Structure formats: C-alpha cells, structure tokens
Amino acid sequence: MARAASRRRVVTAGAALGAWVVAASGLAPHALADDAVSPNQWYLAAMQAPEMWKVSTGKGIKVAVVDTGVNPDTPSLKGQVLTQDVPQSAAYGATKDYQGHGTTMAELIAGTGKGGGLKGLAPDAKIIPLRISLGSLKDPAEKKLTQSSAAGIRAAADSDAKIVNLSYSGGSEPAEADAVKYALSKGKLLFAGTGNEGATNDFYRDYPAAYPGVVGVSAADEKGTVTHFSQSGDYVDLASPGLNVPVWCDTSFQKYCDSRGTSQASAIASASAALIWSAHPSWTADQVLRTMIDTAGRSWDKNTPSKYLGYGLIRPRLVLEKADINPGPADVDPLAKENGGSSAAPAAPAVPSSSPPAKGEAVAKGEGTGGTKDGGSTPWIVGGVLAGLVLIGGGVFAVFRTRRRGA
C-alpha cells in the first residue's frame, strides 16, 4: 500500500561504501594530487578515478538531476549546468535550490572541483536540473509552482539526458510509476537510492528505487560493507560509496558538511554510468547497466544477488580498461527477472520483499557472505591483467535520517 506523500523523505544521509584497499598489478593505484580533489572525497582515490579519467571523463553525456533544484553558480558547477536544456514545463525554479541537496548531487556527478568544490566522478558530464516539490520545501506558493516528482521524471524523459538521478525516496504513487515507465520507454537509465531507514524500519520498499526499471543503489562503507541503516530487499541492484561523502551544509553554499546516505551512493552510480556511456556512446542503457553488473565486486554467486548489495559494488574502471568488453544485447533488460520480465540470459532470483533482514545478522569484519550483511573478501579491481582485491568487512552505524514531506 502506498504511503502518503507526507511520508516522502530525502535519502540525503545515511549509508556507506568504504575504504578500498587495492593491491593491483599491471595498473597500480594512483595517488590523487593535493589540489585535484577535496580531501574528504576518499572514494575517488579508492575507485582510482585519475586512471579512469585517462579513458573517460563523461564528456558528451547529460545527466538529469531530479531533486531540490541545482545552483549553477557554485565554483564547481560553473559551466556544468544546462539550463537551456530544461523542458519549458519544468523551468520554474530549476536553478533555485531550496535545500542544497540537488546541488550536492550535481557536484558529485559532474563537479569540476574548482574553488575548493566537490570533484565529480564524471567531471566533463553536464547536468540538466529539474526541481520537484519535496518535504523541505515549506513555502506554500513555491510548492504550488514547483512540479511533482512524477512531472519531474517525465520532464527528464523529454530532455536530452541519457541518465536520470533520483536521490529521494518515499511511497509508491501511480503517477510516478507511470512516469518511470515513460522514461524507460525513452531509453533512459534511472538510478535511485534505496533509503536510509534500515536500522529502524527495513520492512518496506522505498520508491522510486523499487519501481521496475529503476536501478536501486544501496550504500557501503570504506571497507565495502553495507551500513546497518541502508535499506535492503530485492530492489537493491548495486552498491556505491555513501559514507563520509561531503554535502553542502545549507543553501548559503558556504561550506560542506560530512554526511552519509544512499542519495550520494545513487549520484556516484549515475556518474559511473556517465563515464561508461561516454566511452561507449553507441551502447544502450541496457548495455551500460549490464557491464556495471558484470564487473561489480562481490564474493557471492552472481545468480543469487545480495539483498543488501545487490549484484555488488560498482567498479566502472573494469569496464573502461577493457575496450573490447562485451556489453551483451542492446534490447534485453539485465534486470528482467527482478523487474518481472524475462531475460535471454539466466538471471538471479529476487529476494521476496516480505523477508526483511534479521536485525542481528553478522556484520562484523570478515563475517557473513552474500546473504547477510555482506562480509568476507570481495574482488574490487579484478579483470584482464589487473588483479585487485578489497576486503569487505563490517561496522554498524547509527541511522541518520532527514524527512522531506511532500506537498
């Protein structure tokens, strides 16, 4: 049963994906220059972003950020926000961020890092800003003028964006579900955070992440372990960095605050897709996603995805370093089984949403594999001549949650 719009909440804080100790041969880990990135963006070094940027920086890819609006005037976003590409129906307030959340997501995806700002994982991608009405928008007049989440997704579908980032969560709404179907029919690749209430209420599915066709992204820490507050279920498809990822503190845009959340995880996953699509512009959304799934780090059988980390931890570098990688068929959904369809290739059985995780499951370092809070060791950078390994360990963190009450 759909929760009321007043239950819609932000996925801003709370989640994780951690310290990735990489021991590689052939292509060694690359240290970041002091002036290359904010010192708090640990995941860029962990994912070896400078090495990826030698192959792809996301150039030519547009990402729609459906959120609280995007401020195009932060030092990191100057020249990165395509206001002219916003559909006229969604133009109101697109560049007036009423919380700072949407601007943060845009910077995590495509920020240049200038002026001490955040460096996006895909720094040459461009952002199409789309503002929707969420709980932190309090002004009645602004609420009336600002579009709904369903309208925002439809506007993204009508734009030139290839990727749509949806870093918010709440209940299922028929209009929003229809908008997602519309976006998918337009060939868009949609990412959304799975929610941050795993420590207190992990018994329901969060939307839009749980809609068929949307890639649900959980968050893991620096050890590659999902946090206790990252929500789980059969709608978790991939995991991405989400702990200790800086965000704008407020709408003064004067400083960043340390934060955590599947919002950040979703944005970093969207940026990863932008890197891949830029390097392979002829691919479809299905092919981009399939390569992300195939190269994801996991210690469990691919045909039995984890309800915490899905098919595993994103590793876009493994796609980029292999120019002749096989992306599979252009028009076959790699998540067909999860999405209620059929696939040309074997797919993993879904974990019923009625089977929530037990709250005492093993989460300590080295405990559990696949089915619980995924532990053990998981290959992060393995592929071709590369032999990399990251230990996936534990750590339980208190939930940090913010609510956005819808109009």
CA neighbor of 272 nearest in space, from 243, 303, 239: 239
Rounded-to-integer distance, Cα 108 and Cα 89, Å: 26
Length of the chain measured in residues: 407
Catalytic one of 56, 67, 218, 259: 67
Rounded-to-integer distance, Cα 124 and Cα 110, Å: 6
CA neighbor of 128 nearest in space, from 165, 98, 176, 97: 165
Q: Among this protein's residues, is 299 annotated catalytic?
A: no
Catalytic one of 148, 149, 167, 263: 263
Rounded-to-integer distance, Cα 78 and Cα 100, Å: 16
CB 221 within 8 A of CB 18: yes
- Per-residue exposure over 142-165, b if at least 16 CB sit within 10 Å of its own CB, e if not: beeebbbbbbbbbbbbbbebbbbb
Rounded-to-integer distance, Cα 91 and Cα 172, Å: 25
* Residue 113: Cβ within 10 Å count: 19
Residues with Cβ within 8 Å of residue 195, at least 6 apart in sequence: 11, 169, 206, 209, 230, 231, 262
CB 273 within 8 A of CB 348: no
Residues with Cβ within 8 Å of residue 61, at least 6 apart in sequence: 122, 125, 126, 162, 163, 274, 277, 278
Helix (H) and strand (E) counts for the chain?
9, 15
Token pair recorded at residue 140: 């009645």
Rounded-to-integer distance, Cα 192 and Cα 189, Å: 10
Amino acid at 251: T
DSSP state of 4: P
Catalytic one of 56, 76, 97, 101: 101
Q: Among this protein's residues, is 25 annotated catalytic?
A: no
Q: Write the secondary structure of 274-327 as one string of H (helix), E (strand) and C (coil).
A: HHHHHHCCCCCHHHHHHHHHHCCECCCCCCCCECCCECCECCHHHHHCCCCCCC
Q: Among this protein's residues, is 73 annotated catalytic?
A: no
Reduced to 3 states (helix: H, G, I; strand: E, B; else coil), residue 169 is strand
Rounded-to-integer distance, Cα 350 and Cα 23, Å: 33
Amino acid at 63: V
DSSP state of 276: H
Catalytic residues: 67, 101, 263
